[in-house]
Amino acid sequence: MIESNVENLLKEIPKENPFGEKVTLVAAVKLQNAEDINRAVAAGITDIGDNHVQELRDKYELINGNPRRHFIGHLQTNKIKYLLGKVDLYHSVDRINLAEELSKKSAGAGIVSDILIQINIGNEETKGGFALEDCGEIYKTIKRLPALRIKGLMAMLPIDNDETRLKTLAKSMRGQFDRLRAIDKDIEYLSMGMSGDWRICLEQGANIIRLGTAIFGARNYNKN
Ligand SMILES: *Cc1c(COP(=O)(O)O)cnc(C)c1O
């Protein structure tokens, strides 16, 4: 099941988005055990994304094949120390004080951390991230931090059956991404698209999608 899901997705997901950029599939592995994650990696998954620090730590040594590591969940500043040097790209920088702490801790470790700025594209109370209209200012503020490298933007579209609205939101993310890319050569990634909406997101110019359910099936929040 996991193997065939991965195989079918790798066939279906285009290698490039309509802008000619390489598309990266990140497996969202929250609540999945190491064995299932290893099955996905063996089937061709090259990138995995964790939401929870504790889960990442528990499973870190158990994952084979050395996939690239993404952190995609809400991050508390007091947990940063457990991730330093383990995460290739932080998608979910959603507060200035998180950016400041991540820069400080990265500097202390002698590294520069690659990050995405999370945008709350649907202005949802339940989601983290900055308002799209504040993105320019936020970018300038974070850009001053010495031990972070801003690589792009991340967003989660709202749950909505209105495809036209989702397209409009995804398109406005791409617009902001293009404005930053025009002034900063480090800007490279637009991380947007989950199991329910990745086709729309790719069409509108995402180049990283994050899929959980489409790979592993429905998550069981009661196991462990
Ligand atoms: C869980 C999660 C995903 C994957 O969601 P699915 O709908 O299961 O594909 C993607 N991004 C983030 C930030 C998530 O927390």
The residue whose CA has the least distance to atom 11 of ligand 1 is 210
Ligand 1 binding pocket includes 211 (Cβ within 6 Å) = yes
End-to-end CA distance of the chain: 21
**Ligand 1 centre distance from Cα of residue 110 (Å):** 31
Residue 220: pLDDT band with limits 50, 70, 90: confident
Residue 221: pLDDT band with limits 50, 70, 90: confident
From 144, 217, 153, 219, select the one nearest 181 (Cα to Cα): 153
- The whole-number pLDDT of residue 222 equals 74
Q: pLDDT by residue (tens digit) across 73-130?
A: 999 999 999 999 999 999 999 999 999 999 999 999 999 999 999 999 999 999 999 9
Whether residue 61 is predicted with pLDDT greater than 70 in this model: the reply is yes
Ligand 1 binding pocket includes 72 (Cβ within 6 Å) = yes
Q: pLDDT by residue (tens digit) across 204-213?
A: 999 999 999 9
The number of the ligand 1 atom at minimal distance from the alpha carbon of 214 is: 9
- Find out whether 97 and 79 touch, Cβ atoms under 8 Å: no
Ligand 1 binding pocket includes 48 (Cβ within 6 Å) = no
- The whole-number pLDDT of residue 21 equals 98
- The whole-number pLDDT of residue 223 equals 59
Average pLDDT of the residues of the chain: 97
Q: pLDDT by residue (tens digit) across 134-143?
A: 999 999 999 9
The number of the ligand 1 atom at minimal distance from the alpha carbon of 219 is: 8
The number of the ligand 1 atom at minimal distance from the alpha carbon of 92 is: 13
**Ligand 1 centre distance from Cα of residue 14 (Å):** 20
If one counts every other C-beta atom within 10 angstroms of the C-beta of residue 215, the result is 25
Tell me the whole-structure pTM to 2 decimals: 0.97
> In terms of DSSP H, where are the helices of the chain?
2-12, 34-42, 53-59, 80-83, 96-108, 135-143, 163-183, 198-204, 213-216
